[in-house]
Chain A
Amino acid sequence: MRRLASGAGDTLFSPAHTTPVQVCPTMNDANSTPLSPDDAILSLDGLAKTFRVGFWGRPVQALRGVSLTMRRGESLGYLGPNGSGKTTSIKCIVGLIQASAGKVQLFGGDPGEAPRRAKVGYLPESPYFYDYLTPIEVMEYVGKLYGMSARDRAERSHKLLGQVGLDQAAKRPLRGFSKGMLQRVGIAQSLLADPELLIWDEPLSGLDPMGRKEVRDIMAALRADGKSLFFSSHVLSDIETLCDSVCILDRGQAVAQGRLSDLLRSEELESEAVAEIPSGDNRPAAIATLAALPGVVLTDLPSGVRLVLPTAQVPALMAKLLELGGFLRELNQRRDSLEELFLRKAVKRDQDGGAA
């Protein structure tokens, strides 16, 4: 028996028993050379999808040449408003939709090949399962599709259902489950085969606050465990917390992508200062002098003079304050949030007439 392996070491979601195996390097294909950790595990190259709708088959472009690369161990947030093409591109990756143009590669090869698909754990948006099955039976069915042994299926199912908080409901039919409980079943089944890459479509939707926290904790643990996470969300704070990098999609196009730290870089941004200016007859003139600095927005507050200004103007502000006999009480660099970045990109695209 030839065995292909994806690495070594224990994982958070490892089964209770492990079989001693001869481990060979991570696969690209059966006879591949080892992949380095920097190699792309998922890449989209000019992915496009046009749907034909209505009686006359009117073309609607859902994706217009999306390209991105995701590397092993990376956590990538897929962000965009409703109808931006997030779910369509995820479905193209997992093979539910065929792309009209462009290319998808998983682990450096054809995503349709079973060994590659076996390394992906997919959670659909609002997952639905056969409502006459119990969570244990869903896991059993899915485990058979992955070619897992009966022992592994039983052990992994028990463990994962416990981790998603469904151990008490494991033997109840799904028809009585809430949306949040179904989401947990979906998460558990996506982790069953210990996949390297998790593709989760809106994993936090439909969950109560406690459920959201639990799923976030699971995601953080998976990330710490070295899993690669690709997930879409509308909740920007979740993406900001859980992701190393993001891809922002708008009207079928990637409008921004890269590492969060790069995208939210500070040099284009502003600083916020609070200054003290001596009271007296000269105060109005001093305030006018500060307000005349390029790009400054000044507010005179009882607690001090608040200034928002380009970071590049901070030395000039300090020099002026010295001249005026004042001093700087607080200085903070304003960091763009993901939400601001997202809104800025969306507004820019609107100004560009959607042709960014």
Chain B
Amino acid sequence: MTAIVTKSGLELHTSGAFAMLRRISAVVGNTLREAGRAKLFYGLLGAAVMLLGFSLVLSDLALVDQKARLVQSFGMAVVPLVCVGTAVLMGALLLHKEIDKKTLYAILPKPIARGEFIAGKLLGLCALLVIELVALALVWWAVLSMRGGQMTGPIVRGLALHVIELVLVTSIAVFFSALTRPVLSGLLTAGVFVVGRVTYVITDLLAARKGLFVEVPAMRAVGKALVVAIPDLSTFAVADPILQGWDVPWSYVASASMYGLCWALAFAVGAVLLFQRRDFT
């Protein structure tokens, strides 16, 4: 490791992997603190807790042996949806706030690479989303226990898969955040999420012998481009199979995680490349 020693004997460690990790962790810590203070975050968290609480009321309307199942279904829908909403909205604002408030003007001239800054912001938001997911899962578990249900292995593995999906959606949001303004980046991220969840439908339509993709050749090219350019987020949507009693084996979680993390890395690299080209006037 190389240390610079200043005129007054101060040692500055700016080179090497350890120094890089220290810089990234400083940005992660600050991002976590900043995002954790956002009213938006607490608004979404509060809404999710209320919805989970509402499922307790709603389950009273269900048949006796279906009460736990209703709470289970409700949680499987609410927890991922709120977490993805948080990732889209806060990811879209992540870089914009730094630029708009000019806080990054005092940070980027320091010995930190722009890529390290993006990595720190991304990981900081991911950390916050994991905290949100765990908090909501605990509330969900409590509600589920009150109705005699339990957190099964497949549900836990489903939540683990959802963490990977959140990392991927956050990377997409940061990619668009580095490209354009927050409203547009939020819309684009939401668009990719929606299309990503139904990519398998597009694949099926492309394989069909009739339909739009056969009748309009130009649309066929668009369909093929979407399948290639947008990650298949249905890989992480395991709520229905779990509710139908299917298992989610660890081997599936591992392969889906690899798939999701590769896509997340690609979007993060894209975000860094875009961010490196930006002028901060």
Contact = CB atoms under 8 A, between A and B. Distances in A.
A200 B11 CA distance: 23
Interface stretch (B104-112, B227-235, B246-254, B263-271): B104-112
A84 to B, nearest CB: 15
Interface string B28-48: 001001100100000000000
B280 A97 contact: yes
B279 A132 contact: no
A115 interface: yes
B102 interface: yes
A91 B9 CA distance: 29
B62 interface: no
B141 to A, nearest CB: 32
A115 B109 contact: no
Contacts of B23: 144-145, 147
Interface string A94-116: 11111000000000000000110
Contacts of B113: 114
Interface in A311-347: none
A58 interface: no
A334 B110 CA distance: 45
Nearest to A24: B5
B134 interface: no
A141 interface: yes
Interface in A1-56: 1-11, 13-15, 17-19, 21, 23, 27, 30, 51
A260 interface: no
B150 interface: no
B105 A115 contact: no
Nearest to A99: B279
Interface string B1-41: 11111111111111100010011011000100110010000
A115 B4 contact: yes
Nearest to A98: B279
B9 A51 contact: no
Contacts of A18: 8-10
A77 interface: no
B103 interface: yes
A196 B5 CA distance: 11
Contacts of B280: 91, 96-97
Contacts of B22: 144, 147
Contacts of B107: 142, 145
B30 A130 contact: yes
Contacts of B1: 1
Query: Interface size class for chain B?
Result: 35 or more
A23 B5 contact: yes
B279 to A, nearest CB: 4
B152 interface: no
Contacts, number: 163
B210 interface: no
A21 B279 contact: no
B237 to A, nearest CB: 36
B281 interface: yes
B105 to A, nearest CB: 4
A156 B10 CA distance: 10
A226 to B, nearest CB: 8
Chain A interface secondary structure, helix, strand, loop or mixed? loop
Contact of A193 (B2, B10, B33, B105): B10
B11 A4 contact: no
A4 B10 contact: no
Interface stretch (A119-127, A270-278, A295-303): A119-127
B3 A1 contact: yes
Given A118-B14, A129-B106, A145 B281 contact: no
A250 interface: no
B209 interface: no
Contacts of A11: 7-8
Contact of B10 (A8, A194, A226): A194
Question: In the complex, which of the residues B9, B112, B279 has the most CB atoms of chain A within 10 Å of its own CB atom?
Answer: B9
A69 interface: no
Given A141-B30, A144-B26, A193 B6 contact: yes
A6 B11 CA distance: 11
Nearest to A94: B109
Contacts of B5: 3-6, 19, 21, 23
A114 B114 CA distance: 11
Interface in B197-230: none
B10 to A, nearest CB: 5
A148 B279 contact: no
Contacts of B110: 117-118, 122, 142, 145-146
Given A97-B279, A147-B19, A152 B109 contact: no
A149 interface: yes
Interface string A169-201: 000000000000000001001000111100000
A154 to B, nearest CB: 13
B109 A118 contact: no
Interface in B69-123: 101-103, 105-113
B102 A96 contact: no
B4 A13 contact: no
Contacts of A152: 10-11
Interface of B: 1-15, 19, 22-23, 25-26, 30, 33-34, 37, 101-103, 105-113, 277, 279-281
9 contacts: A1-B2, A3-B3, A10-B8, A15-B10, A114-B111, A115-B4, A117-B111, A127-B106, A147-B22
Closest 3 pairs between A and B when the two form their complex, measured CB to CB? A18-B9, A14-B8, A147-B13
Given A15-B9, A18-B9, 14 more contacts: A6-B6, A6-B7, A11-B7, A91-B279, A96-B109, A119-B6, A122-B110, A129-B106, A141-B30, A144-B26, A145-B112, A147-B14, A147-B111, A195-B6
